[in-house]
Amino acid sequence: MDETKHGSSEASLHLENATPTQASLGLPRHHPSSESPSNPRNWPLWKKNAQILMVAFHSMMGTFMAAGIIPAYDALAELYGITVPQASYLTSIQILMLGLSPLIWNPITATYGRYNVSLLSVLGSLVCNIGGARCTSYGGQMTTRILTAFLISPPIGIGSGVITELCELEERGTKLGWWVLLTTIGTPVGPLTMGFVTQHIGVEWIFWIFAIVNFVQFIFYLALGDETIYHEENETEDSSFWAKMKFRKRGTKTISYADIVAPFSLVKCPRVLVAAFALAITFCYGNIALIVEMPIAFGKRFNFNAQQIGLQFIAIVIGCVLGEQVSGPGSDWFLRRVRQIKGYYHPADRLWFTYIAFSTVISGLLTWGYQLQHATNWNITPCIGAAIASFGCQSLTALL
């Protein structure tokens, strides 16, 4: 029996063999939805865009704060009496928490709503960043960084869900691009801006600025935010400001241990596992490794101060922005060409573009390492390599 028709749990459907859908044939689609103004799909465009931009910026702040302390490694090492590699753990632990925490936050937000959790997230992060500004020990600072990363992380796991709740299928590509770009660009923008802060007003102001940004986020959520999870029973609920602030269950869903471990069940799908593994490895080396190594690679080698180290991240910002602009429209153009030639396309056809992303990540990392190793004085060639690698990394993030 053909495996695409097999009813057993071991059957798998090859995307390249799937029956073309209306979308892949270029035909119009209709999504039945409630006409009620309470349904987020029916909100005004400005309100939907406001929710998406707030959750995208919220995601950005997670990576921004994790990487923002990178130019201050030397100052933190001197302040706490530790080595620069030990200071880098303050960033590494945050990256680890940003990756693991959504496993806990996702079922919580699905049960109690996106809006209330977002308010709790920025308030908790604000308190922890005030604590970071007042810390006098390495252990204390490590504690505040762990808690900050845990509390600020919800939108990293729910961003795509918010966009799905607000947008029709044909609108999601562009809006997902906003979220993905801001999330990934936070890692280079953080040290780029905080390098100036460290150099001119002191390392403690990094944490005060983080806290100020969290406070501004809280104000924006109060003024413009709303719950994006919709159930028909919402029609009978009080929609006033104070009712919206109340922490309550949305629908009948309850949290279970199975919800936390559910994402790991995807290891049974080899195609999902391979794509996730490929993205994790390339993002680790094409983005995180470059950013964490900048103070050691440039600071120690060329005797750079915090501001000069921060300026090196301009290359990664440029690579990320260009990667997002090219990968999305480029893959869309490729799919249109495929449809013109074959009359339809499959979702897996977009993966052909990943070869460009992989090749640029590899070539960029080789250029960065080789040019840096042989540089006796600073020159722009290692930064060009970093830009090429981040271009490929961002492209792959957008495609997968």
> Would you say residue 232 has pLDDT above 80?
no
- What are the structure tokens assigned to 325, written together? 């602009």
Q: Is the pLDDT of residue 299 over 80?
A: no
CB atoms within 10 A of CB 240: 9
Rounded Cα distance, 99 and 42, in Å: 33
Q: Once rounded to an integer, what is the mean pLDDT over residues 91-99?
A: 90
Q: Which CATH architecture has domain 38-230+237-245+257-262?
A: Up-down Bundle (1.20)
pLDDT at 29 exceeding the cut of 50: no
pLDDT at 240: 63
Spatial separation of the C-alpha atoms in residues 29 and 27, rounded to whole Å: 7
pLDDT at 30: 45
pTM of the entire structure? Answer: 0.79
Q: What is the pLDDT of residue 3?
A: 39
Q: What is the mean pLDDT of residues 182-209?
A: 91
The pLDDT value recorded for residue 130 is 96
Ordered by start, the domain boundaries in the chain are 38-230+237-245+257-262, 269-400
Q: How many CB atoms lie within 10 A of CB 298?
A: 20
- 234 secondary structure, DSSP code: G
Structure tokens at 397: 């993030």
CB 142 within 8 A of CB 90: yes
% of the chain surpassing 70 pLDDT:
82
Q: Give the DSSP H or E segment for 276.
A: helix 270-283
C-alpha pair distances (Å), 23 with each of 27, 104, 344: 6, 34, 9
**Stronger pLDDT, 307 or 242, i.e. the higher one:** 307
Q: Place 122 in a pLDDT band, splitting at 50, 70 and 90.
A: very high
Chain-centroid distance of CA 180 in Å reads: 5
CA nearest to 386, candidates 279, 286, 304: 286
More confident residue, 1 or 160: 160
For residue 256, the tally of other CB atoms under 10 A from its CB is 11
pLDDT of amino acid 33? 47
Percent of the chain with pLDDT over 90: 31
- pLDDT of 19 higher than 70: no
Calculate mean pLDDT across residues 150-169: 86
Question: Tens digit of pLDDT for each residue in 215-226?
Answer: 999 999 999 988
Least confident range from 3-7, 323-327, 331-335: namely 3-7
Lowest mean pLDDT among 23-27, 65-69, 102-106: 23-27
The DSSP annotation for 316-366 comes to: HHHHHHHHHHHHHHHHHHHHHHHHHHHS---GGGGGGGHHHHHHHHHHHHH
| pLDDT exceeds 70 at position 126 | yes
Map residue 299 onto helix, strand or coil.
helix
**Banded model confidence at residue 400, pLDDT cuts 50, 70, 90:** low
pLDDT in tens, 172-189: 767 887 888 888 888 889
- Average pLDDT (52-73) is 92
Query: Distance of CA 371 to CAs 358, 381, 383, 384, 393, Å?
Result: 20, 6, 9, 10, 20
CB atoms within 10 A of CB 99: 14
Mean pLDDT score, 367-385: 88
Where residue 137 falls among pLDDT bands split at 50, 70, 90?
very high
pLDDT of 241:
63
Lowest mean pLDDT among 147-161, 197-211, 253-267: 253-267
Q: Whose CA is closest to 228, among 136, 80, 115? A: 115
Count the helices and strands in the chain (H runs, E runs): 18, 0
More confident residue, 29 or 305: 305
202 contacts: CB under 8 Å, gap ≥ 6:
none
Name which of 217, 201, 205, 56 is nearest 126 in CA terms.
217
Averaged pLDDT score across all residues of the chain: 82
Most confident of 176-190, 247-261, 333-347: 176-190
Q: Residue ranges of the alpha helices (H) in 225-268? A: 241-245, 257-261
